[in-house]
Structure 1
Amino acid sequence: MKFIKILLLFGLISPFLSAQSLKKTDQQTLTWIRYYNILPITEKWAIHSEIDNRSFISPIHENLIALRVQGRYRIHKNIDLGSGFAYFNVNTQSSDVDPDYSVPEYRIQQDVTFINDIAKVTFHNRFQLEERFIQKANQTELLNIFSFSYRFRYRLQSTFDLWKKEKQSLKATISDEVMFNFGEDNKRNTFDQNRIYIALRYHFNPNIGLELGYLNSFQRRSSGVDFYDRDIIRVTFYHRINRRPKI
Protein backbone atom coordinates (compact mmCIF):
# COMPACT_ATOMS: atom_id res chain seq x y z
CA MET A 1 0.00 0.00 0.00
CA LYS A 2 2.91 2.34 0.67
CA PHE A 3 4.02 1.88 -2.96
CA ILE A 4 0.53 2.79 -4.21
CA LYS A 5 0.42 5.91 -2.01
CA ILE A 6 3.81 7.03 -3.34
CA LEU A 7 2.65 6.59 -6.95
CA LEU A 8 -0.54 8.53 -6.34
CA LEU A 9 1.28 11.31 -4.53
CA PHE A 10 3.88 11.58 -7.27
CA GLY A 11 1.23 11.61 -9.98
CA LEU A 12 -0.72 14.37 -8.27
CA ILE A 13 2.21 16.67 -7.43
CA SER A 14 4.30 16.14 -10.58
CA PRO A 15 2.33 18.65 -12.69
CA PHE A 16 2.74 21.28 -9.97
CA LEU A 17 6.43 20.62 -9.50
CA SER A 18 6.89 21.00 -13.24
CA ALA A 19 5.07 24.32 -13.30
CA GLN A 20 8.28 26.17 -12.52
CA SER A 21 9.61 25.30 -15.97
CA LEU A 22 6.19 25.31 -17.66
CA LYS A 23 6.26 26.90 -21.11
CA LYS A 24 2.80 26.20 -22.45
CA THR A 25 -0.42 24.46 -21.46
CA ASP A 26 -3.00 23.86 -24.18
CA GLN A 27 -6.59 23.75 -22.91
CA GLN A 28 -8.73 21.40 -25.02
CA THR A 29 -12.29 20.06 -24.95
CA LEU A 30 -13.12 16.66 -26.43
CA THR A 31 -15.76 13.96 -26.63
CA TRP A 32 -14.91 10.27 -26.32
CA ILE A 33 -17.61 7.93 -27.63
CA ARG A 34 -17.01 4.26 -26.92
CA TYR A 35 -18.64 0.88 -27.50
CA TYR A 36 -17.51 -1.75 -24.99
CA ASN A 37 -18.34 -5.43 -25.50
CA ILE A 38 -17.97 -8.31 -23.04
CA LEU A 39 -18.15 -11.87 -24.36
CA PRO A 40 -18.07 -14.52 -21.59
CA ILE A 41 -16.46 -17.78 -22.69
CA THR A 42 -16.60 -19.69 -19.41
CA GLU A 43 -17.22 -18.71 -15.80
CA LYS A 44 -13.60 -17.52 -15.55
CA TRP A 45 -12.67 -16.56 -19.12
CA ALA A 46 -14.03 -13.63 -21.16
CA ILE A 47 -13.10 -11.56 -24.20
CA HIS A 48 -13.40 -7.77 -23.87
CA SER A 49 -13.33 -5.56 -26.97
CA GLU A 50 -13.97 -1.91 -27.63
CA ILE A 51 -13.94 0.80 -30.26
CA ASP A 52 -13.33 4.38 -29.15
CA ASN A 53 -13.76 7.54 -31.23
CA ARG A 54 -12.21 10.71 -29.79
CA SER A 55 -12.89 14.15 -31.28
CA PHE A 56 -12.20 17.78 -30.49
CA ILE A 57 -15.24 19.99 -29.96
CA SER A 58 -14.01 23.48 -30.87
CA PRO A 59 -13.38 23.32 -33.71
CA ILE A 60 -14.81 19.87 -34.44
CA HIS A 61 -11.94 17.66 -35.54
CA GLU A 62 -10.98 14.01 -35.31
CA ASN A 63 -8.41 13.22 -32.63
CA LEU A 64 -8.07 9.45 -32.92
CA ILE A 65 -9.79 6.10 -33.28
CA ALA A 66 -8.82 3.23 -30.98
CA LEU A 67 -9.53 -0.49 -31.20
CA ARG A 68 -8.82 -2.89 -28.33
CA VAL A 69 -9.27 -6.59 -27.68
CA GLN A 70 -8.16 -8.51 -24.62
CA GLY A 71 -8.66 -11.82 -22.89
CA ARG A 72 -9.53 -11.71 -19.19
CA TYR A 73 -9.21 -14.50 -16.64
CA ARG A 74 -10.70 -14.44 -13.13
CA ILE A 75 -7.96 -16.28 -11.26
CA HIS A 76 -9.68 -15.61 -7.93
CA LYS A 77 -12.89 -13.90 -6.89
CA ASN A 78 -10.76 -10.87 -5.97
CA ILE A 79 -8.10 -11.06 -8.72
CA ASP A 80 -8.59 -10.50 -12.44
CA LEU A 81 -5.85 -10.92 -15.07
CA GLY A 82 -5.87 -9.42 -18.57
CA SER A 83 -3.74 -9.38 -21.70
CA GLY A 84 -4.46 -7.97 -25.13
CA PHE A 85 -3.69 -5.77 -28.11
CA ALA A 86 -4.69 -2.24 -29.08
CA TYR A 87 -4.44 -0.22 -32.29
CA PHE A 88 -4.59 3.59 -32.34
CA ASN A 89 -4.95 5.74 -35.44
CA VAL A 90 -3.97 9.24 -34.34
CA ASN A 91 -5.07 12.01 -36.68
CA THR A 92 -3.83 14.96 -34.62
CA GLN A 93 -3.28 16.01 -31.01
CA SER A 94 -4.41 19.58 -31.69
CA SER A 95 -7.59 20.75 -33.39
CA ASP A 96 -5.59 23.54 -35.06
CA VAL A 97 -3.28 21.07 -36.82
CA ASP A 98 -4.54 18.97 -39.74
CA PRO A 99 -1.77 16.77 -41.20
CA ASP A 100 -2.17 14.82 -44.43
CA TYR A 101 -1.56 11.54 -42.62
CA SER A 102 -2.49 9.71 -39.41
CA VAL A 103 0.05 8.15 -37.08
CA PRO A 104 -0.48 4.47 -36.19
CA GLU A 105 0.34 3.08 -32.78
CA TYR A 106 0.35 -0.58 -31.78
CA ARG A 107 0.16 -1.62 -28.12
CA ILE A 108 0.51 -4.85 -26.22
CA GLN A 109 -0.90 -4.68 -22.72
CA GLN A 110 -1.01 -6.78 -19.56
CA ASP A 111 -2.72 -6.03 -16.27
CA VAL A 112 -3.64 -7.42 -12.89
CA THR A 113 -6.69 -6.03 -11.09
CA PHE A 114 -7.50 -6.52 -7.42
CA ILE A 115 -11.21 -6.29 -6.60
CA ASN A 116 -12.58 -5.64 -3.11
CA ASP A 117 -16.04 -4.84 -1.78
CA ILE A 118 -16.06 -2.50 1.21
CA ALA A 119 -19.31 -1.12 2.64
CA LYS A 120 -21.27 -1.68 -0.59
CA VAL A 121 -18.55 0.00 -2.68
CA THR A 122 -16.51 -2.04 -5.18
CA PHE A 123 -12.87 -0.98 -5.45
CA HIS A 124 -10.64 -1.87 -8.40
CA ASN A 125 -6.86 -1.51 -8.10
CA ARG A 126 -5.46 -2.01 -11.60
CA PHE A 127 -1.76 -2.29 -12.41
CA GLN A 128 -1.16 -2.22 -16.17
CA LEU A 129 1.95 -2.40 -18.35
CA GLU A 130 1.93 -1.39 -22.03
CA GLU A 131 4.50 -1.98 -24.76
CA ARG A 132 4.00 0.84 -27.29
CA PHE A 133 5.16 0.90 -30.91
CA ILE A 134 4.55 4.33 -32.49
CA GLN A 135 5.45 5.09 -36.11
CA LYS A 136 7.62 8.17 -36.41
CA ALA A 137 6.82 11.07 -38.73
CA ASN A 138 8.18 14.40 -39.83
CA GLN A 139 6.14 17.46 -40.76
CA THR A 140 5.07 16.04 -44.12
CA GLU A 141 4.97 12.22 -43.97
CA LEU A 142 5.29 9.01 -42.02
CA LEU A 143 8.73 7.45 -41.69
CA ASN A 144 9.53 3.74 -41.94
CA ILE A 145 10.72 3.54 -38.35
CA PHE A 146 8.99 3.08 -35.00
CA SER A 147 9.69 4.31 -31.50
CA PHE A 148 9.31 1.85 -28.64
CA SER A 149 8.53 2.53 -25.01
CA TYR A 150 6.93 1.05 -21.93
CA ARG A 151 4.12 2.73 -20.05
CA PHE A 152 3.04 1.82 -16.53
CA ARG A 153 -0.48 2.70 -15.41
CA TYR A 154 -2.08 2.52 -11.98
CA ARG A 155 -5.80 3.13 -11.55
CA LEU A 156 -7.86 3.22 -8.37
CA GLN A 157 -11.57 3.03 -9.14
CA SER A 158 -14.67 2.83 -6.98
CA THR A 159 -18.16 1.85 -8.17
CA PHE A 160 -21.38 1.81 -6.18
CA ASP A 161 -25.14 1.61 -6.69
CA LEU A 162 -27.21 4.78 -6.39
CA TRP A 163 -30.45 3.05 -7.25
CA LYS A 164 -31.44 -0.51 -8.04
CA LYS A 165 -34.73 -2.18 -8.91
CA GLU A 166 -35.13 -5.68 -10.33
CA LYS A 167 -32.85 -5.80 -13.41
CA GLN A 168 -32.28 -2.06 -13.68
CA SER A 169 -29.74 0.03 -11.79
CA LEU A 170 -27.95 3.36 -11.65
CA LYS A 171 -24.26 3.20 -10.72
CA ALA A 172 -21.66 5.86 -9.96
CA THR A 173 -17.96 5.58 -10.73
CA ILE A 174 -15.05 7.64 -9.40
CA SER A 175 -11.48 6.92 -10.45
CA ASP A 176 -7.98 8.33 -10.63
CA GLU A 177 -5.26 6.97 -12.91
CA VAL A 178 -1.59 7.93 -13.16
CA MET A 179 0.74 6.93 -16.02
CA PHE A 180 4.53 6.84 -16.42
CA ASN A 181 6.64 6.37 -19.57
CA PHE A 182 9.90 4.43 -19.76
CA GLY A 183 12.22 4.20 -22.78
CA GLU A 184 14.92 5.91 -24.80
CA ASP A 185 12.41 8.17 -26.56
CA ASN A 186 10.77 9.31 -23.30
CA LYS A 187 13.61 10.73 -21.25
CA ARG A 188 11.93 14.13 -20.91
CA ASN A 189 8.43 12.97 -20.03
CA THR A 190 8.65 10.05 -17.61
CA PHE A 191 5.45 11.37 -16.03
CA ASP A 192 2.90 10.94 -18.82
CA GLN A 193 -0.47 11.99 -17.45
CA ASN A 194 -3.05 11.88 -14.68
CA ARG A 195 -6.72 11.15 -15.34
CA ILE A 196 -9.57 11.90 -12.95
CA TYR A 197 -12.95 10.46 -13.91
CA ILE A 198 -16.50 10.63 -12.54
CA ALA A 199 -19.49 9.00 -14.24
CA LEU A 200 -23.03 7.70 -13.98
CA ARG A 201 -24.04 4.42 -15.63
CA TYR A 202 -27.63 3.36 -16.17
CA HIS A 203 -28.24 -0.35 -16.76
CA PHE A 204 -31.41 -1.05 -18.71
CA ASN A 205 -30.77 -4.70 -17.78
CA PRO A 206 -27.68 -6.62 -16.60
CA ASN A 207 -26.39 -6.86 -20.19
CA ILE A 208 -26.99 -3.31 -21.50
CA GLY A 209 -25.67 -0.12 -19.94
CA LEU A 210 -25.12 3.51 -20.92
CA GLU A 211 -22.53 5.63 -19.13
CA LEU A 212 -22.01 9.40 -19.17
CA GLY A 213 -18.94 10.81 -17.50
CA TYR A 214 -16.45 13.65 -17.21
CA LEU A 215 -12.72 13.01 -17.49
CA ASN A 216 -9.90 15.48 -16.87
CA SER A 217 -6.57 14.52 -18.42
CA PHE A 218 -3.45 16.49 -17.57
CA GLN A 219 -0.76 15.16 -19.91
CA ARG A 220 2.86 16.06 -20.43
CA ARG A 221 3.90 16.42 -24.08
CA SER A 222 7.05 14.97 -25.64
CA SER A 223 8.90 18.26 -25.15
CA GLY A 224 8.95 17.55 -21.42
CA VAL A 225 7.81 21.07 -20.47
CA ASP A 226 4.54 21.57 -22.41
CA PHE A 227 1.20 20.10 -21.35
CA TYR A 228 -2.31 19.30 -22.48
CA ASP A 229 -5.12 20.05 -20.03
CA ARG A 230 -8.14 18.26 -21.45
CA ASP A 231 -11.79 18.39 -20.42
CA ILE A 232 -13.47 15.31 -21.84
CA ILE A 233 -17.11 14.25 -22.02
CA ARG A 234 -17.16 10.47 -22.29
CA VAL A 235 -20.11 8.35 -23.45
CA THR A 236 -19.86 4.56 -23.25
CA PHE A 237 -22.32 1.94 -24.42
CA TYR A 238 -21.75 -1.33 -22.54
CA HIS A 239 -22.91 -4.56 -24.12
CA ARG A 240 -22.54 -7.94 -22.46
CA ILE A 241 -23.43 -10.86 -24.69
CA ASN A 242 -25.48 -13.28 -22.63
CA ARG A 243 -24.38 -16.77 -23.68
CA ARG A 244 -26.87 -19.27 -22.37
CA PRO A 245 -25.51 -22.74 -21.61
CA LYS A 246 -26.40 -25.46 -24.06
CA ILE A 247 -29.08 -27.90 -22.90
Structure 2
Amino acid sequence: MKVLRLLFCFGLVSPFLMAQNLTKTDHQTLTWIRYYNILPISEKWAVHSEIDNRSFVNPIHENLFVIRLQGRYRIHKNIDLGAGFAYFNVNTQDPKLDPDFSIPEYRMQQDVTFIHDAARITFHNRFQLEERFFQKATKTELLNDFSFAYRFRYRLQATFDLWKKEKQSLKATLSDEIMFNFGKDNKRNTFDQNRIYTALRYHFNPNVGLELGYLKNFQRRASGVDFYDRDIIRFTFYHRINRKPRI
Protein backbone atom coordinates (compact mmCIF):
# COMPACT_ATOMS: atom_id res chain seq x y z
CA MET A 1 0.00 0.00 0.00
CA LYS A 2 2.92 2.36 0.59
CA VAL A 3 3.89 2.01 -3.06
CA LEU A 4 0.33 2.82 -4.16
CA ARG A 5 0.25 5.91 -1.97
CA LEU A 6 3.55 7.11 -3.39
CA LEU A 7 2.29 6.62 -6.97
CA PHE A 8 -0.91 8.45 -6.16
CA CYS A 9 0.93 11.37 -4.57
CA PHE A 10 3.34 11.52 -7.51
CA GLY A 11 0.41 11.64 -9.91
CA LEU A 12 -1.05 14.60 -8.06
CA VAL A 13 2.14 16.67 -7.87
CA SER A 14 3.96 15.66 -11.08
CA PRO A 15 2.18 18.20 -13.32
CA PHE A 16 3.17 21.03 -11.01
CA LEU A 17 6.77 19.85 -10.68
CA MET A 18 7.19 19.57 -14.43
CA ALA A 19 5.62 22.95 -15.04
CA GLN A 20 8.75 24.52 -13.57
CA ASN A 21 10.79 23.59 -16.66
CA LEU A 22 8.24 23.98 -19.44
CA THR A 23 9.16 25.48 -22.77
CA LYS A 24 5.56 25.76 -23.97
CA THR A 25 2.20 24.74 -22.54
CA ASP A 26 -0.97 24.82 -24.66
CA HIS A 27 -4.15 25.31 -22.62
CA GLN A 28 -7.15 23.66 -24.24
CA THR A 29 -10.81 22.97 -23.41
CA LEU A 30 -12.57 19.85 -24.69
CA THR A 31 -15.73 17.79 -24.38
CA TRP A 32 -15.67 13.99 -24.35
CA ILE A 33 -18.98 12.28 -25.15
CA ARG A 34 -19.05 8.54 -24.56
CA TYR A 35 -21.41 5.58 -24.83
CA TYR A 36 -20.35 2.68 -22.57
CA ASN A 37 -21.99 -0.74 -22.91
CA ILE A 38 -21.73 -3.79 -20.64
CA LEU A 39 -22.91 -7.17 -21.89
CA PRO A 40 -22.74 -9.90 -19.21
CA ILE A 41 -22.06 -13.36 -20.63
CA SER A 42 -22.04 -15.26 -17.33
CA GLU A 43 -21.47 -14.52 -13.65
CA LYS A 44 -17.75 -14.10 -14.30
CA TRP A 45 -17.49 -13.09 -17.97
CA ALA A 46 -18.62 -9.85 -19.63
CA VAL A 47 -17.98 -7.88 -22.82
CA HIS A 48 -17.43 -4.13 -22.46
CA SER A 49 -17.59 -1.79 -25.46
CA GLU A 50 -17.48 1.97 -25.87
CA ILE A 51 -17.68 4.72 -28.45
CA ASP A 52 -16.02 8.00 -27.52
CA ASN A 53 -15.99 11.28 -29.44
CA ARG A 54 -13.64 14.03 -28.26
CA SER A 55 -13.87 17.61 -29.51
CA PHE A 56 -12.27 20.98 -28.82
CA VAL A 57 -14.51 23.80 -27.60
CA ASN A 58 -12.69 26.97 -28.68
CA PRO A 59 -12.72 26.80 -31.61
CA ILE A 60 -15.09 23.84 -32.06
CA HIS A 61 -13.14 21.13 -33.84
CA GLU A 62 -12.85 17.35 -33.84
CA ASN A 63 -9.97 15.99 -31.76
CA LEU A 64 -10.36 12.22 -32.09
CA PHE A 65 -12.80 9.32 -32.25
CA VAL A 66 -12.44 6.04 -30.33
CA ILE A 67 -13.95 2.56 -30.59
CA ARG A 68 -12.96 0.12 -27.84
CA LEU A 69 -13.87 -3.53 -27.18
CA GLN A 70 -12.69 -5.68 -24.29
CA GLY A 71 -13.48 -8.92 -22.51
CA ARG A 72 -13.51 -8.96 -18.70
CA TYR A 73 -13.23 -11.89 -16.31
CA ARG A 74 -13.91 -11.75 -12.56
CA ILE A 75 -11.29 -14.18 -11.31
CA HIS A 76 -12.15 -13.37 -7.68
CA LYS A 77 -14.69 -11.13 -6.00
CA ASN A 78 -11.87 -8.62 -5.49
CA ILE A 79 -9.88 -9.16 -8.71
CA ASP A 80 -10.98 -8.31 -12.25
CA LEU A 81 -8.98 -9.12 -15.43
CA GLY A 82 -9.43 -7.47 -18.82
CA ALA A 83 -8.02 -7.58 -22.35
CA GLY A 84 -9.14 -5.83 -25.50
CA PHE A 85 -8.53 -3.72 -28.59
CA ALA A 86 -9.11 -0.07 -29.42
CA TYR A 87 -9.09 1.98 -32.62
CA PHE A 88 -8.30 5.70 -32.43
CA ASN A 89 -8.86 8.11 -35.31
CA VAL A 90 -6.90 11.27 -34.45
CA ASN A 91 -7.88 14.32 -36.47
CA THR A 92 -5.74 16.99 -34.81
CA GLN A 93 -4.23 17.92 -31.44
CA ASP A 94 -4.46 21.64 -32.26
CA PRO A 95 -7.99 23.05 -32.85
CA LYS A 96 -6.53 25.82 -35.04
CA LEU A 97 -5.13 23.25 -37.50
CA ASP A 98 -7.39 21.34 -39.88
CA PRO A 99 -5.42 18.66 -41.76
CA ASP A 100 -6.88 16.88 -44.77
CA PHE A 101 -6.37 13.48 -43.15
CA SER A 102 -6.62 11.73 -39.78
CA ILE A 103 -3.99 9.54 -38.14
CA PRO A 104 -5.06 6.05 -37.03
CA GLU A 105 -3.80 4.31 -33.92
CA TYR A 106 -4.35 0.62 -33.19
CA ARG A 107 -4.06 -0.34 -29.55
CA MET A 108 -4.12 -3.59 -27.58
CA GLN A 109 -4.59 -3.49 -23.82
CA GLN A 110 -4.45 -5.78 -20.78
CA ASP A 111 -5.25 -4.90 -17.18
CA VAL A 112 -5.73 -6.27 -13.70
CA THR A 113 -8.00 -4.39 -11.29
CA PHE A 114 -8.07 -4.91 -7.53
CA ILE A 115 -11.39 -4.02 -5.87
CA HIS A 116 -11.71 -3.19 -2.19
CA ASP A 117 -14.67 -1.94 -0.15
CA ALA A 118 -14.00 0.17 2.93
CA ALA A 119 -16.34 2.44 4.87
CA ARG A 120 -19.02 2.31 2.13
CA ILE A 121 -16.46 3.39 -0.49
CA THR A 122 -15.37 1.10 -3.34
CA PHE A 123 -11.71 1.47 -4.33
CA HIS A 124 -10.35 0.29 -7.69
CA ASN A 125 -6.60 -0.08 -8.25
CA ARG A 126 -6.08 -0.69 -11.97
CA PHE A 127 -2.75 -1.63 -13.55
CA GLN A 128 -2.91 -1.52 -17.35
CA LEU A 129 -0.44 -2.22 -20.15
CA GLU A 130 -0.99 -1.02 -23.74
CA GLU A 131 0.70 -1.90 -27.03
CA ARG A 132 0.22 1.06 -29.38
CA PHE A 133 0.74 1.18 -33.16
CA PHE A 134 0.70 4.66 -34.74
CA GLN A 135 0.68 5.25 -38.47
CA LYS A 136 3.40 7.74 -39.34
CA ALA A 137 2.58 10.93 -41.23
CA THR A 138 4.06 14.10 -42.63
CA LYS A 139 2.28 17.44 -42.45
CA THR A 140 0.44 16.63 -45.68
CA GLU A 141 -0.09 12.85 -45.87
CA LEU A 142 -0.02 9.46 -44.19
CA LEU A 143 3.01 7.22 -44.66
CA ASN A 144 3.03 3.47 -45.19
CA ASP A 145 4.87 2.89 -41.92
CA PHE A 146 4.11 2.56 -38.21
CA SER A 147 5.76 3.42 -34.90
CA PHE A 148 5.27 1.30 -31.78
CA ALA A 149 5.24 2.02 -28.07
CA TYR A 150 4.28 0.44 -24.78
CA ARG A 151 2.37 2.45 -22.21
CA PHE A 152 1.85 1.62 -18.55
CA ARG A 153 -1.13 3.13 -16.71
CA TYR A 154 -1.99 3.11 -13.01
CA ARG A 155 -5.35 4.42 -11.78
CA LEU A 156 -6.64 4.74 -8.24
CA GLN A 157 -10.40 5.32 -8.15
CA ALA A 158 -12.94 5.74 -5.36
CA THR A 159 -16.71 5.44 -5.89
CA PHE A 160 -19.48 5.85 -3.32
CA ASP A 161 -23.25 6.39 -3.12
CA LEU A 162 -24.50 9.88 -2.34
CA TRP A 163 -28.15 8.86 -2.53
CA LYS A 164 -29.97 5.61 -3.14
CA LYS A 165 -33.66 4.69 -3.35
CA GLU A 166 -34.98 1.39 -4.66
CA LYS A 167 -33.39 0.98 -8.13
CA GLN A 168 -32.22 4.58 -8.48
CA SER A 169 -28.97 6.02 -7.17
CA LEU A 170 -26.56 8.94 -7.35
CA LYS A 171 -22.87 8.01 -7.22
CA ALA A 172 -19.72 10.10 -6.92
CA THR A 173 -16.34 9.17 -8.39
CA LEU A 174 -12.86 10.55 -7.73
CA SER A 175 -9.79 9.16 -9.50
CA ASP A 176 -6.20 9.88 -10.40
CA GLU A 177 -4.35 8.13 -13.24
CA ILE A 178 -0.72 8.39 -14.29
CA MET A 179 0.78 7.04 -17.54
CA PHE A 180 4.32 6.26 -18.74
CA ASN A 181 5.58 5.46 -22.25
CA PHE A 182 8.21 2.84 -23.09
CA GLY A 183 9.89 2.00 -26.40
CA LYS A 184 12.59 3.16 -28.77
CA ASP A 185 10.26 5.73 -30.40
CA ASN A 186 9.45 7.37 -27.04
CA LYS A 187 12.79 8.24 -25.51
CA ARG A 188 11.89 11.89 -25.02
CA ASN A 189 8.56 11.49 -23.25
CA THR A 190 8.68 8.61 -20.79
CA PHE A 191 6.20 10.50 -18.61
CA ASP A 192 3.08 10.68 -20.76
CA GLN A 193 0.29 12.26 -18.76
CA ASN A 194 -1.67 12.58 -15.54
CA ARG A 195 -5.47 12.61 -15.30
CA ILE A 196 -7.43 13.77 -12.26
CA TYR A 197 -11.16 13.08 -12.57
CA THR A 198 -14.28 13.77 -10.54
CA ALA A 199 -17.83 12.93 -11.57
CA LEU A 200 -21.46 12.38 -10.58
CA ARG A 201 -23.42 9.46 -12.03
CA TYR A 202 -27.21 9.15 -11.81
CA HIS A 203 -28.71 5.70 -12.36
CA PHE A 204 -32.32 5.63 -13.51
CA ASN A 205 -32.13 1.90 -12.78
CA PRO A 206 -29.22 -0.57 -12.38
CA ASN A 207 -28.91 -0.86 -16.18
CA VAL A 208 -28.99 2.79 -17.33
CA GLY A 209 -26.96 5.69 -16.01
CA LEU A 210 -25.77 9.17 -17.00
CA GLU A 211 -22.46 10.60 -15.79
CA LEU A 212 -21.17 14.17 -15.87
CA GLY A 213 -17.56 14.70 -14.93
CA TYR A 214 -14.59 17.05 -15.03
CA LEU A 215 -11.14 15.80 -16.04
CA LYS A 216 -7.89 17.72 -15.60
CA ASN A 217 -5.39 16.35 -18.10
CA PHE A 218 -1.70 17.32 -18.11
CA GLN A 219 0.16 15.62 -20.97
CA ARG A 220 3.67 15.74 -22.36
CA ARG A 221 3.81 16.16 -26.14
CA ALA A 222 5.84 13.96 -28.49
CA SER A 223 8.64 16.53 -28.55
CA GLY A 224 9.42 15.68 -24.94
CA VAL A 225 9.59 19.40 -24.13
CA ASP A 226 6.13 20.93 -24.64
CA PHE A 227 2.91 20.09 -22.80
CA TYR A 228 -0.87 20.15 -23.08
CA ASP A 229 -2.88 21.44 -20.12
CA ARG A 230 -6.47 20.39 -20.79
CA ASP A 231 -9.79 21.06 -19.05
CA ILE A 232 -12.26 18.41 -20.13
CA ILE A 233 -16.01 18.05 -19.54
CA ARG A 234 -17.04 14.41 -19.95
CA PHE A 235 -20.54 13.02 -20.60
CA THR A 236 -21.06 9.25 -20.40
CA PHE A 237 -24.15 7.16 -21.08
CA TYR A 238 -23.85 3.78 -19.33
CA HIS A 239 -25.92 0.91 -20.65
CA ARG A 240 -25.94 -2.60 -19.21
CA ILE A 241 -27.76 -5.25 -21.21
CA ASN A 242 -29.28 -7.93 -19.03
CA ARG A 243 -29.65 -11.20 -20.89
CA LYS A 244 -32.97 -12.92 -20.30
CA PRO A 245 -32.62 -16.43 -18.85
CA ARG A 246 -33.65 -19.28 -21.09
CA ILE A 247 -36.96 -20.92 -20.22
RMSD between aligned alpha carbons?
1.0
Cα deviation 1:53-94 (Å, max 9, x = unaligned): 000001000000000000000000000000000000000001
Cα deviation 1:1-33 (Å, max 9, x = unaligned): 233233334333433333343111000000000
> 1:51 deviation in Å?
0.2
Counterpart CA distance in 2 for 1:63 and 1:195 is: 17
Equivalent residues of 2:45, 2:72 under 8 A apart: yes
Residue type at the aligned position of 1:93: Q
Asked if 1:14 is matched to 2:22, the reply is no
SS of corresponding position for 2:170: strand
Residue type at the aligned position of 2:200: L
Residue type at the aligned position of 2:141: E
The 5-angstrom pairing of residues 119-138 of structure 1 reads: 119-138=119-138
Asked if 1:27 is matched to 2:36, the reply is no
Give the equivalent residue in structure 1 for 2:203. 203
Equivalent residues of 1:14, 1:191 under 8 A apart: no
Give the equivalent residue in structure 2 for 1:226. 226
Asked if 1:158 is matched to 2:161, the reply is no
Give the equivalent residue in structure 1 for 2:69. 69
> 1:225 deviation in Å?
1.3
> 1:37 deviation in Å?
0.2
Counterpart CA distance in 2 for 1:129 and 1:72 is: 15
SS of corresponding position for 2:64: strand
Counterpart CA distance in 2 for 1:7 and 1:167 is: 36
Counterpart CA distance in 1 for 2:146 and 2:11 is: 28
Note the residue ranges of structure 1 that are not aligned, 5 or more in a row: none
Identity of aligned residues (%): 81
TM-score with structure 2 setting the length = 0.98
Equivalent residues of 1:31, 1:54 under 8 A apart: yes
SS of corresponding position for 2:93: coil
> 1:245 deviation in Å?
1.3
SS of corresponding position for 2:42: coil
Give the equivalent residue in structure 2 for 1:104. 104
Runs of 4+ in structure 1 displaced over 2 angstroms? 1-21
Give the equivalent residue in structure 2 for 1:89. 89
Counterpart CA distance in 2 for 1:165 and 1:235 is: 23
Counterpart CA distance in 1 for 2:55 and 2:20 is: 31
Cα deviation 1:158-201 (Å, max 9, x = unaligned): 00000000000000000000000001111111000000000000
Give the equivalent residue in structure 2 for 1:145. 145
Note the residue ranges of structure 2 that are not aligned, 5 or more in a row: none
Residue type at the aligned position of 2:149: S
Give the equivalent residue in structure 2 for 1:239. 239
> 1:217 deviation in Å?
0.3
Counterpart CA distance in 1 for 2:236 and 2:161 is: 18
Counterpart CA distance in 1 for 2:2 and 2:80 is: 22
Give the equivalent residue in structure 1 for 2:2. 2
Equivalent residues of 1:18, 1:225 under 8 A apart: no
Counterpart CA distance in 2 for 1:10 and 1:188 is: 20
